[in-house]
Amino acid sequence: MRVAVVGAGITGVCVARELSRYRVEVHVFDAKPDVGWGVSKANTGLIHACYDDDPERFPVRAKACVEGNRMWRSLVEELSIPHSWDGSMVVGDEEDLPRLRELLRRGIRNGVPELRIVEARKLEPLIKGEYALYAPTAGQISPPQAVIAIAESAAINGVRFHLETEVKGIRVKSGEVEAIITNEGEVRVDAVVNAAGLKADEVAGMVGLPMEIRPRKGEYLIFDEDAGPKPSHIIFPVPSERSKGVVVTTEVSGHLMVGPNANDVQDKEDVSTTVEGLREVYGKASKLWPLPPMNKVIRSFAGLRPEPRGGDFILGRTEVGGFYNAAGMRSPGLTAAPAVGKELASMIAEDLELDRKLRWKAGRPLPVDGGGVVCRCNLVTSGRVRWAIERMRFLGVKTPSVDSVKFRTSATAGTCQGSFCRVHIARMLAEEYGVPLWQVTLKGKGSELGVGDVKALVI
């Protein structure tokens, strides 16, 4: 038996890891150069407490969110994923108390433990609000490192990753999936999991199923490590129908981060930032917390979220035999991913009558250090960089990129944003991959660090 998972983001790798518990061949396909480089790469990294998802309007979302929150507790320990369990606060004034109480009742109904309304400044003296819905079970992870860790665990247990491999079509025969067609050839399969993020509607269309996924852009600001003050909790505004709002948080790396806003766009590749958007983020965040000046910002970025028609996750079996959806994974998709992976794997195992493996490995190798410091900002050593390159190759990363190293080590993510260490990392990538230095990329093909040897410019 063979299962294809389309998409190597957080949902896809969670499905693949859970499937690796069974006696089945699992293949993960993604057009990007590395795992987690789509929707999963650029988001706030929050593990939500799950009080905001209405169980009547969004039953799949509400259930998966609460279960996923519980599963992350053990997952971060098993796989050594950077994390913090700081709890969250939804901040408001007296006029917001009815809405906070509504969220409290909803959270209790969803099964969220320890929720309560508190005087906000008793937990955060600098916060700009009188009251808060306090959710101590909320936390934060590094999304890129989480995807990498889960993908490695899946690979250790036999899952094969096919990166820079675009799915072009899916062949269906007599109402059942038969093969997946890629730019690298055709693979016969017994089941396909559509975890393609923003492209999930296109993958569904390959088997004749209608689906609508709209990209919603969110912009972020990250401040220098010495910029503060920094909150000790995740701070939310009172949510709207459209969004959970601009968040103020101290991310797991120790940097103050604010965002995202929420703007619908047409282009599924548009991760540009705008002056207006970043001003909006800064302005809304400053209503919650005293922010440092903008000249302390070291990075801005934008991410896209897949917004499904109707707002709920699109999950499970379809009318096409062997075709399963894990689509429309908008917020709280990161939180829900482990639960979605478990549910889908169980469903597929039942349908294909799969047996569980007698032996299955839960963990992954720990990072290796040694050698001199390469990244001065985050104190990353040459040994850690070479370890990261080894793990890239283990997963099947074909194109050497500085960003692949960054997401595994935090090198180039400090104050100087790689001004000092990028060239040293590039040299190590060139050595380990056996390519000229100028062929090393920043973030995959098309972002090469050079055009050739100097002599090529004077011929």
What digits encode the pLDDT tens for the residues 412-424?
999 999 999 999 9
pLDDT band at 240 (very low <50, low <70, confident <90, very high): confident
**Are residues 179 and 161 located together in one domain of the fold?**
yes
Assess if residue 452 is contained within a domain: no
**Closest to 89 (Cα-Cα) out of 55, 46, 28:** 46
Helical packing angle, 402-409 and 382-395, nearest 10°:
110
| CA distance linking residue 50 with residue 240, whole number of Å | 15
**Are residues 315 and 407 located together in one domain of the fold?**
no
The answer, yes or no, to whether the previous bond of 260 is cis (omega within 30 of 0) is yes
Q: In terms of DSSP bridges, do strands 131-135 and 25-30 run parallel, antiparallel, or are they unpaired?
A: unpaired
**Are residues 189 and 71 located together in one domain of the fold?**
yes
Assess if residue 32 is contained within a domain: yes
Using the predicted structure, report yes or no on whether residue 454 has a pLDDT greater than 70. no
Domain boundary among 327, 346, 364: 364
pLDDT band at 456 (very low <50, low <70, confident <90, very high): low
What's the confidence (pLDDT) of residue 261?
A: 96
Q: What is the mean pLDDT of the chain?
A: 96
The residue segments making up the domain with residue 228 are 83-139+215-302
Q: Quick check: helix, strand or coil at residue 76?
A: helix
**Are residues 240 and 322 located together in one domain of the fold?**
no
**Are residues 21 and 145 located together in one domain of the fold?**
yes
| CA distance linking residue 285 with residue 381, whole number of Å | 35
Structure tokens at 405: 């190293």
**Are residues 193 and 59 located together in one domain of the fold?**
yes
Are 63 and 342 in contact, with CB atoms under 8 Å apart?
no
Q: How many domains does the chain have?
A: 3
**Are residues 433 and 285 located together in one domain of the fold?**
no
How many C-beta neighbours within 10 Å does residue 25 have?
15
Please provide residue 373's backbone torsions phi and psi, each rounded to the nearest 5 degrees: -75, 130
Mean local confidence (pLDDT), 119-132 = 98
pLDDT digits (tens, 9 = 90+) for 265-306: 999 999 999 999 999 999 999 999 999 999 999 999 999 999
Instruction: Enumerate residues 6+ apart whose C-beta is below 8 A from 208.
Output: 172, 320
pLDDT band at 458 (very low <50, low <70, confident <90, very high): low
| Catalytic residue chosen out of the listed positions 27, 48, 162, 255 | 48
Using the predicted structure, report yes or no on whether residue 457 has a pLDDT greater than 60. no
**Are residues 68 and 104 located together in one domain of the fold?**
no
| CA distance linking residue 198 with residue 204, whole number of Å | 11
Please provide residue 159's backbone torsions phi and psi, each rounded to the nearest 5 degrees: -70, 140
Q: Which long-range contacts (CB under 8 A, 24 or more apart) does 60-64 make?
A: 60/312, 60/313, 60/315, 61/311, 61/312, 61/313, 61/332, 61/336, 62/110, 63/339, 64/313, 64/315, 64/336, 64/339, 64/340, 64/343
| CA distance linking residue 83 with residue 68, whole number of Å | 15
Using the predicted structure, report yes or no on whether residue 338 has a pLDDT greater than 90. yes
As to burial, measured by CB atoms within 10 angstroms (0-12 exposed, 13-18 middle, 19+ buried), residue 205 is middle
Output the domain CATH number for residue 27. Answer: 3.50.50.60
Assess if residue 174 is contained within a domain: yes
Domain boundary among 335, 364, 393: 364
**Are residues 39 and 169 located together in one domain of the fold?**
yes
Mean local confidence (pLDDT), 39-66 = 96
Output the domain CATH number for residue 116. Answer: 3.30.9.10
pLDDT digits (tens, 9 = 90+) for 158-182: 999 999 999 999 999 999 999 999 9
Using the predicted structure, report yes or no on whether residue 451 has a pLDDT greater than 90. no
**Are residues 266 and 330 located together in one domain of the fold?**
no
Assess if residue 132 is contained within a domain: yes
Percent of the chain with pLDDT over 90: 96
Assess if residue 458 is contained within a domain: no
Distances (CA, A) of 342 to 55, 336, 337: 20, 10, 9
Assess if residue 92 is contained within a domain: yes
Assess if residue 23 is contained within a domain: yes
**Are residues 135 and 153 located together in one domain of the fold?**
no
What's the confidence (pLDDT) of residue 450?
A: 86
Cα angle at 17 between 13 and 20, to 5 degrees? Answer: 140
Domain boundary among 302, 318, 352: 302
pLDDT digits (tens, 9 = 90+) for 344-378: 999 999 999 999 999 999 999 989 999 999 999 99
Alpha carbon dihedral 348, 351, 356, 361, in 10-degree steps, equals -10
**Are residues 9 and 72 located together in one domain of the fold?**
yes
Using the predicted structure, report yes or no on whether residue 116 has a pLDDT greater than 90. yes
Question: Is the CA virtual torsion 254, 260, 265, 268 positive or negative?
Answer: positive
Question: Is 48 among the catalytic positions?
Answer: yes
Using the predicted structure, report yes or no on whether residue 455 has a pLDDT greater than 70. no
Using the predicted structure, report yes or no on whether residue 244 has a pLDDT greater than 90. no
